[in-house]
Structure 1
Amino acid sequence: MDIKKLVAEALGTFWLTFGGCGSAVIAAAFPDVGIGLLGVALAFGLTVLTMAYAVGHVSGAHFNPAVTVGLAAGGRFPSSQIIPYVVAQVIGAILAAAVLYVIASGTASFNPDGGFAANGYGEHSPGKYSLTAALIAEFLLTAAFLFIIMGATHGMAPAGFAPIAIGLALTLIHLISIPITNTSVNPARSTGPALFAGAWAMQQLWLFWLAPLLGGIAGGALYRWLSPEQPSGVIQGTPANPAVRS
């Protein structure tokens, strides 16, 4: 495994977690000029779009364990590389959450017990949605995300536009599901903030690994069935044909 790929994955996941969760923690409700739900959703999309262009040619720009597993299920990524990619992604997310915690705690009004952009269901869902609702939403939205990623990075898709399509897809996903779970669709992104948000976040973290991973597998497998023909020469999702995402 090329260490440069792992570093790129860690950096990309750091940027996604720091930029997306940072917008939620620091800027979402800032007095008078808070960016709100729309701003947070856009921030998550922009983190993927920008880092996909920056390091997509290095690692494929997964930035998300569900994406890595989903691409493997879709025949676009070697299964032997899943664990190193996932470890790098989780490390990047944890480092981002730690840096964000240090910055956010620089004001007296900071209170990590308020959620710290962690994902939750039931009493810890922004809209008090049930575990069942959270499970369905996270599974379905991650499956759709992988389906879009597979299509946007297909050899027959317009070249160079995949980061835009995928970044906008992640924005849309957040617009739909921030009220439900605070939007995960990414186990690494969920793990970083959960470590700082309190015991409840760690207790509920299992759902934000299980549902996105299963959704990623479903989305990748569905697209593989729908469009089985692959361009010759490379495995999609590698730096030669980056499958950028979050």
Structure 2
Amino acid sequence: MKREILTLAFARAVSVEFIATLIFVFIGLGSALKWPSALPSILQISLAFGLAIGTMVQAFGHISGAHINPAVTIAFFVGNQISFLRTLFYVVAQLVGAIAGAGILYGVTPANTRGNLAINALNNNTSPGQALVVEMILTFQLAICIFASTDNRRSGGVGSPALSIGLSVALGHLIGIYFTGCSMNPARSFGPAVVMRRFSPAHWV
């Protein structure tokens, strides 16, 4: 296990998780900014998050697996697909990448447009318990999609993992935005919260 982290392939994989998460968060959060001339629609935000994750999976999947999500990385660890050390390094890279992506977006966005940088927040009529159930279901369907579309044991073609994973993320946002702003990804929630220094009592959801 210790030898694993000393290889060039491991360093490349961790670096890719950082870069991919940075780009994903930058694009995803950027699509949700409230420009004075044009407010974003739920469809626009959903497509942006879905297309961003699909593009990153297509570009970097062969290097690191393109998890881009601590929840996905932990799911792979629980499924005995990756080692504990790889899990640890991936999660740290993803969280730091999310902070970097949110920070860059903050720096290039006009002050009157930043708002709260698309921080996740519960709907006024949604309780933390309800939000937790919604996020669990949406994240579960994403994890199932990822495992199913990358399972080498399946006979016949499984199509494009990048496309199916991107659609799964977009699907989750089409529903989840109404409840929580839709996270499905701890890094996506963590990055802007750190940059804006706003951690709501329901951030744990």
For the superposition of Structure 1 and Structure 2, which TM-score range results when normalised by the shorter chain? 0.7 to 0.9
Q: Scaled by the length of structure 2, what TM-score is found?
A: 0.88
Q: Aligned ranges for residues 34-73 of structure 1 at < 5 Å? A: 34-73=39-78
Q: CA shift at 1:120, angstroms?
A: 1.9
Looking at structure 2, the residues matched to 160 and 3 of structure 1 have their Cα atoms a distance apart, in angstroms, of 29
**Deviation digits for residues 153-175 of structure 1, max 9, x if unmatched?**
11126256111000000000000
Q: Scaled by the length of structure 1, what TM-score is found?
A: 0.74
Q: CA shift at 1:34, angstroms?
A: 4.0
Q: Aligned ranges for residues 209-224 of structure 1 at < 5 Å? A: none
SS of corresponding position for 2:32: helix
Q: Which residue of 2 aligns with 1:24?
A: 32
Q: CA shift at 1:129, angstroms?
A: 1.3
Give yes or no for the alignment of 1:167 onto 2:166: yes
Looking at structure 2, the residues matched to 30 and 171 of structure 1 have their Cα atoms a distance apart, in angstroms, of 25
Give yes or no for the alignment of 1:180 onto 2:179: yes
% identity of equivalent residues: 35
The count of corresponding residues between Structure 1 and Structure 2 is 195
Q: CA shift at 1:75, angstroms?
A: 2.9
Q: CA shift at 1:202, angstroms?
A: 4.9
Looking at structure 1, the residues matched to 126 and 22 of structure 2 have their Cα atoms a distance apart, in angstroms, of 28
Query: What letter corresponds to residue 102 of structure 1 in structure 2?
Result: G
Q: CA shift at 1:30, angstroms?
A: 5.1
Aligned partner of 1:140 among 95, 119, 137 = 137
Q: Compared with structure 1, are the counterparts of its residues 35 and 120 closer, same or farther at alpha carbon in structure 2 (3 Å cutoff)?
A: closer
Q: Which residue of 1 aligns with 2:121?
A: 120
Query: Once superposed, what is the RMSD of the aligned Cα atoms?
Result: 1.8
Give yes or no for the alignment of 1:206 onto 2:196: no
Q: Structure 1: where are the runs of 5+ without partners?
A: 208-246
Looking at structure 2, the residues matched to 135 and 84 of structure 1 have their Cα atoms a distance apart, in angstroms, of 26
Query: What letter corresponds to residue 185 of structure 1 in structure 2?
Result: M
Query: What letter corresponds to residue 204 of structure 2 in structure 1?
Result: W
Aligned partner of 1:77 among 82, 87, 96 = 82
Q: Compared with structure 1, are the counterparts of its residues 30 and 163 closer, same or farther at alpha carbon in structure 2 (3 Å cutoff)?
A: farther
SS of corresponding position for 1:66: helix
User: Which of structure 1's runs of 4+ aligned residues deviate more than 4 A?
Assistant: none
Contact 1:71/1:146 (<8 A) preserved: no
Contact 1:195/1:202 (<8 A) preserved: no
SS of corresponding position for 1:25: coil
Contact 1:119/1:181 (<8 A) preserved: yes
**Deviation digits for residues 98-117 of structure 1, max 9, x if unmatched?**
0111112x24x2353xx321
Contact 2:121/2:200 (<8 A) preserved: no
Q: CA shift at 1:198, angstroms?
A: 4.3
Q: Structure 2: where are the runs of 5+ without partners?
A: none
Q: CA shift at 1:22, angstroms?
A: 0.8
Looking at structure 2, the residues matched to 202 and 86 of structure 1 have their Cα atoms a distance apart, in angstroms, of 22
Give yes or no for the alignment of 1:110 onto 2:113: yes
